Amino acid sequence: MEFYNYIKALHLIFVITWFAGLFYIVRLFVYHAEAKEKPEPEQSILIQQYQLMQYRLWYIITWPSAVLASLFAFWLLYLIPSWLEQDWMLVKLGFVVLLYAYHIKCHLIFKKLQQNEVKKSSTFFRLWNEGATLILFAVVFLVILKNAINWIYGVIGIFVFSILIMIGFKMYKRIRERNQ
């Protein structure tokens, strides 16, 4: 147990880099979708650059971080197996499954964008980015509060905040379009 805090620190570091990768990859999806609407040669130049950035981010940071965060998590559960008897941990693991589902969906989108198949709008990708945010809030509240119920308040709060942000985004977009 002497090295427990080292394992926990490494787990947290890779969770942070995993989420950073997920947040940034979807931002690159937004830019890619917007570049598709640009005239040539700007479109080709931007898309080529975004594909390279997506590739590097996905395979050098995001996937390795997901794997390493999970490996250190399994190690922590091996060191303290009693966590698996606690409701908050079971709910947290449910969110980790959702996070992997989100990650896999991002991977499928990434593969399509690497072939320059853009089927979604930049607005869709902006909304899609909120999925990881909701999971992050839920997991952080679960881990800090260690309560399988109180995390709901935090998630509801971020959900309401996200809705307000999207309303503000739509209002800004309308104002911008009127002024052009």
* Residue 54 Rama label (left phi>0; alpha psi -120 to 50; beta): alpha
State the number of CA atoms in the 13 A half-sphere of 179 facing the CB: 6
d(CA 62, CA 55): 10
Smallest Cα–Cα separation from 169: which of 119, 115, 111, 129? 129
Contact between 114 and 51 under an 8 Å Cβ cutoff? The reply is yes
User: How would you write 98-120 as a 3-class SS string?
Assistant: HHHHHHHHHHHHHHHHHCCCCCC
Q: What is the separation, in whole angstroms, between the first and last Cα of the chain?
A: 63
11 is in an annotated binding site: yes
CA 172 to chain centroid:
24
92 is in an annotated binding site: yes
Give yes or no for a cis peptide into 39 (omega within 30° of 0).
no
Show binding-site residues for heme: 11, 92
Show binding-site residues: 11, 92
